[in-house]
Amino acid sequence: MSAVVLRRGRFSVRVERRTLVFAAVAGLVVVGLALLGLCYGAVWASPAKVFAALSGDSGVVIRQWRLPRVLAGALFGAALGAAGAIFQGITGNPLGSPEVIGLDAGAYTGALVALTVLNGTSTQLVTGSVLGGLGAATAVYLLSRSGGLSGLRLVVIGISVNAMLTAVNSWIVLRAELEIAIAAVGWSAGSLNGLGWDDVRIPFAVLGVLLVVLASRSRAARQAGLGREVAVTTGVGLERLRLQLVLIGVGCTATVTAVAGPIAFIALSAPQIGRRLAGAPGVPMLPAALTGAVLLLVTDLLAQVLLAPVPLPAGVVSTAVGGSYLIWLLARKVGSR
């Protein structure tokens, strides 16, 4: 398959031509969905009105209410898709995504502790989510490593850790004060509703840094995906690279969870859908991120439309769609044996 080498100074990256075409098409789809999201609301705004609002001519509703939500849908979806690609690449298993192996549940546990024990500020939620996700990742890794690290073992242990953390989260909610419990349960559905600039500025900055760092490690990750021997011969420090990728994946997942709650199945489905559409080997990061952005934008639009004028949490729709995808994936894996 032909490839294109993109260079800027000493930095270069090799991209398959079909992947590049997919990235261009997916980017246009993201822009189109973003425009549709800016137009749609309690009152429909024409594209001309949207462009006028973005240029600064009035349009407070579009700039202050709809724009943060749309940008969050695109960036959060990209972050979840990239996180899914990281863990599916490390485990070598399409089921190795953050929500399946317990990272979402761990991040939710950390956020619940911040809500119930501390004051529940934005900084505390982000910190608690990151620490909870790291704790869950560490537990899964250590338990998996004790019997010989393998992708299937890691996924099975991750599912067990996820079940235990889900039980812990339910216990925390039941023991919390009524107002906090109601807020926690509503937030656990995963939603972009009501997000404003004050909610997303810091998460946008954090995710931007994480995704840039991930892009700088994508070449090494692609070499590592070809096998340990290839990674070693090309000078890739496999253990250090895996640690870096895990930290980036947990950071992406926990940051999104801290702001929008656990939005399920985007990280699970985006890498595999992106890989198939791009026709790329392994679990490529760029198609996964772009597919994640498309999926979350579509999911959020459906959540607003299905029971309009009452908006559903995006996580409810993503769970319904993603659950169907998971059933298909499991049936496909069983049928291939």
> Residue 119: what residue type?
N
Maximum C-alpha span of the chain: 63
Question: Domain 13-332 belongs to what topology?
Answer: ABC transporter involved in vitamin B12 uptake, BtuC (1.10.3470)
The packing angle between helices 67-91 and 266-278, to 10°, is 80
pLDDT value of position 143: 82
Tell me, rounded to whole angstroms, the distance of Cα 28 from its chain centroid.
20
pLDDT value of position 233: 60
Among residues 291, 296, 274, 293, which one has the least CA distance to residue 18?
Answer: 274
pLDDT value of position 294: 94
The whole model's pTM is what?
0.87
What gap in Å lies between CA 330 and CA 12, rounded to an integer? 38
Are residues 16 and 278 in contact, defined by beta-carbon separation less than 8 angstroms? yes
160: which 2 tokens?
Answer: 């067990």
Are residues 200 and 71 in contact, defined by beta-carbon separation less than 8 angstroms? yes
* HSE-up of residue 101 (Cα within 13 Å, Cβ side): 37
- Domain extents for the chain? 13-332
328: which 2 tokens?
Answer: 């298909």
**Confidence category of residue 80, pLDDT binned at 50, 70, 90:** very high
